[in-house]
Structures are given as structure tokens and as C-alpha cells.
Structure 1
């Protein structure tokens, strides 16, 4: 506001001075004027001064507004990056506890399987640590990780969980946000009830430029804490990557999430 007033007064002073000087020049009679004409000229000068000042101020405000928008966008991007970094390091806190409990039972019952279990468990954490600084990962690498991750659940739940991963070599060189598939599978297991008689069916398939994760629905009576956080993380990850966003189809009997396959 002080800048606007200063500019207004400065323009009024400059224009008024020019008008007064102009009419004080000794011009030929045919360019003569009277006092009324002088007053009108000064008034017009005031009006034009206001218009010019308003235009310049509006231009400055627009520049400042654009700068603020860019700054807000950058801050939002940094916030999303922080969320994505947190996502990369995230495994359900109960995940390690449950796996250690399963491992304890396996050591007593089947030492060969226990060794495989430890190998896959260490591979899961190695993957998380080695890819924590990456925004995208090759799909083949992510699928290899998912197979190791699913091994842990299938040892734990047996025939209660059935996984079907389509074999589509043509898409393996595409990219995906790290841990996206892990979060979707974890959500399916966390929020559904299942048994050997009524197993949880999880399919991972491909269609055009999408990878599709689908499961049958049998919701638990009591909701798990933090429901929807995993999907929010995935959405923010892809929003940060600036490409197509995931699409969710929450139907009566199935839950499907379509994840866009990315180019590097």
C-alpha cells in the first residue's frame, strides 16, 4: 500500500508538472488556451496518473502472486517428496514382529524352510534400504521383490492366500514407484478376512500401460487403524512423479487399483 501511494503521488507530480510547463511555453496565438483548459488538462493528467499507477501496481501484484504460486508449488513438491521418502522406508511395524513369530515356529518345525524364510525376509529389507533414494524402480525388480515378500505371507497363511501374477515380458522394462505393489498387497491382507475355505485371491495383471492389482472383498467387521493411508501414499507418489495417477475401482465384490507404468 505505501508503494502504491508513493507511485500515485509521483505520477501526479510528474504529469502535473509537464502539463503546467507545456501551458507556460510561449506558443503562437493559435495554440492559445484559457484557465479552464488548464484545469481540465490537469484533471485529465490526474486521471491518467491513477490509471497508469493502477496498471503498474496490478502488474507488480500479478508478478508477486505468480512468485507465491511457484513457491507454494515448490513447498508442496518438497512435502510430497518427504512423504515419498517416508513411504520408501515404511513397512508395517507389525510386519517384522509377525515374521519373527513365524520364524520362531519354523525353526522348531522345519529348519530348511526357516532358512528360506530368513533369506527372503532379509531380501525384503535389503530392497527397501537399497531403493530408499529412488523415485522409480524397474518393474521387473519390483516384481522380484514382491515374490520374496509374498513368500513370507504364504508360509504364514498357507492356502488362505492365493496370488496370481501374470507373465508379461513386454512390460518388464517399464518403471513403477517403489513399494507400490507391496502397499496394495498389504492393504488387501490387512482389510479382508480370509481362510482356507474362503481364500483371499490377489491377481496382478497388465493392460496397455497399466499394472492392475485386484482382490476379492471380504471386509473385516472392525476396521484396521490407518485405513486409506497406503492408497494416499501411492497417490502422492505418482502426483510427485507428474505422470498419470492411479485409478481405484472399489466394487461390491472386488477391489481394483490400476497403477500407470512409467517411462524412465
Structure 2
């Protein structure tokens, strides 16, 4: 028995990274999945590897309302209902100080990161409310909870909007039996970091593996986060195991937002004692 047996799901931004792995794990746990994204070749390869009996790829831009409506329609046409939507699609945002941010870059980032989430909820919610059940999962970020956890302050602001929009929607939808939660990843080794630094999307994903050693030092748990960490969190929120969880932001970050790292802090305290001529306790 899979944890998502019988569930009908949609995952946006599914052609690479977190989204692609979530589709694979959802299907392994028994779900049927509509996988969406803009890169058709990658989407078709995912559909083929998972199996067309479990996965339907729909080419869609999550920022375009007509595309979002079409993906929901395709899901209903194929499988007749919708039990879970994972609003995962995202991308980088302009970097630099606030005085340097281009308006067009700001607007594009807000469309990719926030409008896409709003559109997904807008078109999934009526289906789920009519059913009296469903789970919406929005991909947030620790950058939306703390400043300085992204190369882009605009990315952080957008993810803060996602996290709060999730809570606002949960207060409405919960009354109809529909849960709405977010996942806030920490340092997950995917191509999005290379994209944020300016690398082309078709090259960025190849750098994910090489980033793991650097990212292992960012949080108390001494390894980089993986796409499986987020996919497994999404399975939990999509499943009936989380049926009383609503309006929650599930942080999956190895403890990075907990505070200062213990060992460097203690080394700093030791250095101050030595500077003051204080004996070790």
C-alpha cells in the first residue's frame, strides 16, 4: 500500500529539480500525477520514465492563467478529480541592492514566484471545495522567513508573500475541508542556485551535485538538503496522515533558521575568553 494510493495530483515546475523528483515519489506512493512545465522534452521524458498510466505531462507556463486552467482541465479529463496540487514552479529573481532592481525583473519574478501560486490555488480550489476535500501545497523558502537566505532580496520577499498567502487561503479553504500548507526548503542542491547567479537553465541543473560539499556547512545537519527531502515532505502533506494540518509552513532546512551554528559560536566565545584573560569553565 502506498501513502498516496488513489490520489490524483498536479505538480507544477516538474521538468527538473524538486518538481521532477516529487512526481517520481508521488507515483511511487500510488498517486496519479499531472506534471507540468515549460520544457516539453524534459516533461515527455519524465512521463515516459514514470509511465503514462501514472503520469501525464502537460506543457504549461504557471504564470499564464489559460495554461493553469488547461492543466486543471486536463487532470479532470484524464482522472476525474483533483486531490492535491503542489505549486512548485519557480525561478530566480534579480540580485543586488534595492536601488539596482529593474522593474521588469521584479515583475517577472513576482509572476513566476507569486502569481503562479495564486493561479494554481484559484483554479484548483473550486474543484476541491466541491469535493469537500483536497490538499494544496505551496513551495515557499526559508528566504521568506529570514533575510539574507537568498542571493536576491526580491526572491525572499516573493517567498514571504507565498507563505502568507498560504495562511490566508487556508483560513478560507479549511472551512470547506481543503487544506493549504507550504514547505520552506533550506539549502537544497538543485540548479536554481546556478540560475540565480546567471547560468542558463539548460546548464544550471548540471551544477547541483558539485554544490553539495559547500552547502553541507550551512546548517547543523552536516549535509546538503536533497530533492528527496522536499518530495517526502510533500508526500506527507498530500497524504491523509496530515489531515489536521492546515495553514502550516513546514520548514525543511536541517536547522539553518534555528540560529547561530553551535561550534562556530563556541569557538567565538573561547576566543573572547582568551582575549579577556578569562579561564576556561
What band does the TM-score fall into relative to the shorter chain?
Answer: under 0.3
Q: Which has the higher helix share?
A: 1
Structure-1-length-normalised TM-score? 0.21
Q: Which structure is higher in RCO with an 8 Å CA cutoff and minimum separation 6?
A: 2
Please give the TM-score of this superposition, normalised by the length of structure 2.
0.21
Larger of the two Rg values belongs to structure: 1
